[in-house]
């Protein structure tokens, strides 16, 4: 980029949704990175952060072994916003007193604003609707701080040392349940930290191309291209950076949806003009998956086979040093990557936790710190076709994790047919763009049914449709009943071996979006 990138750093103290803080800051067009609380000072400070945000966390600051605030954060002299545990940590480090609350406060609350005027709350209404989640509270403020807000159970629900730009919030501004939380974070990064909002899709593209060029140099790159927006944007960025040093490899795993192999070749080889090798490796993948029912083992085997296929094709291209992937931030978070050692592992993603340890190529991951909506914005700025940019996410392991249980060719074909009907009817109803992810799942159970005059004992298909902005949380989509009825009727009548269709109405959390 033409000028230094203004950055806010979020220090993660183990909160489940620390990444949402980073997302909210980026929505304000300010670049933000998330680091574990004990990240080395030089690694953090090389970004020259304009300010720090301290996340929440499950610990109590007074417990032995609890995460603490490293000295360099306060010594930097930059503004700091502590959220929940981060607020308690800030108070504890500066001489305040933190103690267990007599009443745990969890859920919606009202915070009455007051005290010294501050840029954090300027112009906001009082009381403020917020979301609380804490068992400890501030009993005494550190020297120089004043109370800025109180709730029923937290007399010090917000605090600040306005002259030094140090603030603490007992509530969570990053979650949707705090309706004006975005406004508070916006005020922090602009009015307190002095940011101007230079983080835009065009700025990201310029920066990503420069980083890719610096990493790759004169080396050759292969990119695993699936046809989804993630790999498409990653491939386009690499192509912009190094041109014909990139060769895209499309692997037909046998685990794709109906018509996808043909569509990918048409779009990227003929319309986008990229060097594309199409490889049919379906038999290899199905052999690896034979008899396997554990979803983690499926992901690991598929990840291993992906890399082996890539390495084999790369060997035919000569010396290839790099593998480009469309890894996204949610993939890293859920796979408990090195940036998030304090977080619980949810599942292995084939392009994060399922890579072979002896892989020869080095990874190029230009989207590693982006959320899905940021990737789509970059895709539009790059001029990619709408059908690519707005295509629903499709998991790297493909239909192998939507065929619950053992994966066979016959079961894949059954699911392909049912899934095609669902997506066709969704588009006819003009609801494709109104949903974030929609798919069918073939369950490892059979149920009794009646067709014509005979008894059947056949497969069950589950339909899944969700709405979400960030894919870290999601709600089930309230699809019209008549649409669900049409889809169910068509699947039962047109897909051999299926006699029952059910609709998944689980949200994330507690469920994940995918079934496996």
pLDDT in tens, 44-65: 999 999 999 999 988 888 889 9
Name the pLDDT band for 410 (thresholds 50, 70, 90).
very high
- DSSP character for 355? S
pLDDT of residue 353: 45
Query: How does pLDDT run across 157-181, given as a tens digit for each residue?
Result: 999 999 999 999 999 999 888 999 9
The answer on pLDDT for 81 being more than 90 is yes
Is 34:339 a contact under the CB 8 Å cutoff?
yes
User: What confidence tier does 139 reach under pLDDT thresholds 50, 70, 90?
Assistant: confident
pLDDT > 80? residue 23: yes
Task: Calculate ∠ Cα 409-413-417, nearest 5°.
Answer: 170
**Which of the residues 32, 84, 193, 195 is marked catalytic?**
84
186 is catalytic: no
Band of residue 356 on the pLDDT scale cut at 50, 70, 90: low
pLDDT band at 354 (very low <50, low <70, confident <90, very high): very low
Whether 392 is a known active-site residue: answer: no
| Phi-psi category of residue 383: left, alpha or beta, with phi > 0 → left and psi -120 to 50 → alpha | left
> How high is the pLDDT of residue 453?
64
With a cut of 50, say whether residue 319 has pLDDT above it.
yes
Q: State how far the Cα of 421 lies from the Cα of 413, in Å rounded to an integer.
A: 13
The pLDDT of residue 350 is above 80 = no
Which of 288, 286, 282, 370 lies closest to 325, judged by CA?
A: 370
When mean pLDDT is compared over 68-82, 124-138, 349-363, 391-405, the highest value belongs to 68-82
pTM of the model: 0.71
- pLDDT of 155 reads 86
Q: Does pLDDT of 371 surpass 90?
A: no
Q: How confident is the model at residue 3 (pLDDT cuts 50, 70, 90)?
A: low
Selecting among 172, 349, 350, 417, the annotated active-site residue is 172
Query: How far out from the chain centre does Cα 412 lie?
Result: 27
Catalytic annotation on 172?
yes
Residues 6+ apart with CB under 8 A from 189: 8, 25, 28, 30, 50, 51, 195
d(C-alpha 304, C-alpha 351), whole Å: 9
Note the pLDDT of residue 407. 96
Q: Which member of 6, 105, 174, 339 is catalytic?
A: 174
Over the stretch 268-281, which tens digit does the pLDDT of each residue have? 777 677 888 889 99
Band of pLDDT at residue 320, cut at 50, 70 and 90: confident
472 within 8 A of 329, measured Cβ to Cβ: no
């Amino acid at each position: 980029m033409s000028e230094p990138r203004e950055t806010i750093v979020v220090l993660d103290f183990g909160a489940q949704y620390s990444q949402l803080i980073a997302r909210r800051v980026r929505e304000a067009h300010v670049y933000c990175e998330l680091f574990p609380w004990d990240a080395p000072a030089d690694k953090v400070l090389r970004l020259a952060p304009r300010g720090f945000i301290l996340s929440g966390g499950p610990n109590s600051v007074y417990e032995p072994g609890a995460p603490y605030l490293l000295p360099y954060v306060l010594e930097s002299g930059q503004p700091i916003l502590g959220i929940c545990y981060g607020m308690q940590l800030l108070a504890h480090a500066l001489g305040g007193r933190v103690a267990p609350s007599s009443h745990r406060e969890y859920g919606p609350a009202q915070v009455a604003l007051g005290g010294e005027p501050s840029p954090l709350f300027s112009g906001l209404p009082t009381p403020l609707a917020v979301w609380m989640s804490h068992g400890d509270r501030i009993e005494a403020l550190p020297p120089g701080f004043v109370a800025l807000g109180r709730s029923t159970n937290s007399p010090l629900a917000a605090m600040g040392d306005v002259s030094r730009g140090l603030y603490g919030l007992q509530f969570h501004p990053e979650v949707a349940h705090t309706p004006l939380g975005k406004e508070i974070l916006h005020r922090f990064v602009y009015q307190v930290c002095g940011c101007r909002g230079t983080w835009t899709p065009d700025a990201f593209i310029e920066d990503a191309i420069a980083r890719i060029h610096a990493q790759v140099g004169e080396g050759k790159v292969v990119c695993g291209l699936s046809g989804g927006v993630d790999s498409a944007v990653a491939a386009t960025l690499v192509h912009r950076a190094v041109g014909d040093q990139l060769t895209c490899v499309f692997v037909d795993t046998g685990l794709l949806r109906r018509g996808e192999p043909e569509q990918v070749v048409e779009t990227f080889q003929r319309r986008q003009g990229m060097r594309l090798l199409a490889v049919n490796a379906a038999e290899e993948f199905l052999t690896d998956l034979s008899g396997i029912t554990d979803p983690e083992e499926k992901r690991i085997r598929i990840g291993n086979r992906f890399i082996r296929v890539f390495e084999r094709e790369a060997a035919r291209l000569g010396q290839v040093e790099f593998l480009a992937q469309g890894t996204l931030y949610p993939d890293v978070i859920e796979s408990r990557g090195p940036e998030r050692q304090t977080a619980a592992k949810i599942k292995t993603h084939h392009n994060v936790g399922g890579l072979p340890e002896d892989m020869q190529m080095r990874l190029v991951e230009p989207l590693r710190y982006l959320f899905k909506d940021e990737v789509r914005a970059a895709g539009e700025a790059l001029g990619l076709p709408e059908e690519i940019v707005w295509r629903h996410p499709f998991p790297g392991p493909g239909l192998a994790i939507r065929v619950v249980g053992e994966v066979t060719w016959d079961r894949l074909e059954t699911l392909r047919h049912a899934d095609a009907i669902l997506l066709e009817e969704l588009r006819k109803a003009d609801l494709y763009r109104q949903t974030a992810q929609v798919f069918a799942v073939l369950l490892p159970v059979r149920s009794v049914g009646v067709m014509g005059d005979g008894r059947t004992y056949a497969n069950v298909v589950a339909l899944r449709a969700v709405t979400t902005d960030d894919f870290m949380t999601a709600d089930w989509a309230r699809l019209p009943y008549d649409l669900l009825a049409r889809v169910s009727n068509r699947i039962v009548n047109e897909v051999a071996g299926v006699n029952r269709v059910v609709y998944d109405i689980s949200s994330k959390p507690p469920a994940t979006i995918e079934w496996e």
